[in-house]
Chain A
Amino acid sequence: MAVDFENSIPIYLQVVEQLKSDIISGKFSAGERLPSVRDLALQLKVNPNTVQKAFTELEDMGLVFTERTNGKFVTEDIALIAKHKQEHADIITQKYMKTMEKIGFDKSEVIFLINNLGGNR
């Protein structure tokens, strides 16, 4: 999982985003045990303290929980994961819509474009 970090944005927030997308995409499934702080830090090539901070943030969101002595796990609350997935999709869609509006497309035209994406997908 090599990630190119953007140096101008707090690294821990980028780690949060990365882990969040791994959870909502199902790469880490509900209830699955997450890699340790140290392993993840080495994989991502960031400071372990940064990974720790990201985990704390994810715990606050409810997406991750700690089982004492046993490590960190993805939440078993599938509805919560689905909610985050929906939110994430909304954000991306809104961003996309804004960009399209900027270059003069309205919603129905955008829908037409998506329907015809790559010929007849």
Chain B
Amino acid sequence: MELLQCIDLNKSFGEKKILKNVNLTIPRGKIIGLLGKNGTGKTTLIKLINDLLTISSGQILVNGNPIGVESKKVISYLPERTYLDKGMTVEKTVEYFAKFYDNFDSEKAYKLLKELGLDTHQKLAKMSKGMQEKVQLVLVMSRNAELYILDEPLGGVDPATREYILDTILTNFNDGASVIISTHLISDIECILDSVIFIDNGEIILTAETDELRNRENASIDEIFRRMFKC
């Protein structure tokens, strides 16, 4: 059974159609890039998969079942903006996650936090935006999930940390799990992607294996993206 399937998915806000007839299949064991310009529906799609918005029409299936409690157990989601309580220390936040999620691995979280040199006794409010993003990513990757959905994980961090984040993603996605990464910083991540989904104006305009696409177009994914979406 496929890990994730979107069937004829539509989402409108009032008159405005945000997603139009999205059909998607996400298999297991892959790292997939969800690529599109700003405001083309990436985050809306991600929020629908995480049951944070309601579907206008169509279906989303996770392991063959409609989204709900069960799908939330197996999907670990990194939102664009943090929702953590900034008054809590890192340590408290880890405890909180461990209580909340059955599949949360505290040991792993502490190990990763240590590697990143983050002080677990510090309150989130005292940390820089980049540090907060790192904490959030550690929390998300410390769940033994089947699907990790990362919405712009590279947005606010410096290039050195970007590399570390990619490493963290590569090291920690367990066998059989899949990762969806939404981003517009394509050149930074394209060498770790199995396949890409190009989304524009609420429609999926291309899905392809990255290496096949490179071969066919004789260009990098970044270049192909720029060509396709030339303003």
Contact = CB atoms under 8 A, between A and B. Distances in A.
Interface in B197-231: 210-212, 214-215, 218-223
Nearest to B186: A7
Interface of A: 5-13, 41-42, 45-50, 53
B215 A49 contact: no
Given A45-B167, A47-B170, A7 B193 contact: no
A11 B191 contact: yes
Nearest to A41: B170
A42 B170 contact: yes
B171 interface: yes
B214 A5 contact: no
A46 B192 CA distance: 5
Given A7-B190, A11-B191, A50 B167 contact: no
Contact of B194 (A5, A8, A9, A49): A49
A42 B219 CA distance: 24
Contacts of A45: 163, 166-167, 170, 191-192
A6 B37 CA distance: 24
A9 B218 CA distance: 7
B219 A8 contact: yes
Q: How big is the B interface, by class?
A: 20 to 34
Nearest to A8: B220
DSSP class of B's interface residues: helix, strand, loop or mixed? helix
B169 to A, nearest CB: 10
Contacts of A12: 211
Given A10-B211, A41-B170, A46 B220 contact: no
A12 B194 CA distance: 11
Contacts of A9: 214
B218 A8 contact: yes
Contacts of B193: 47
A50 B31 CA distance: 11
B92 interface: no
Contacts of A7: 187, 190-191, 214, 220-223
Residue from the set B29, B190, B191, B212 with the largest chain A CB neighbour count within 10 Å: B191
Contacts of B29: 49
B170 A10 contact: no
B220 A10 contact: no
B73 interface: no
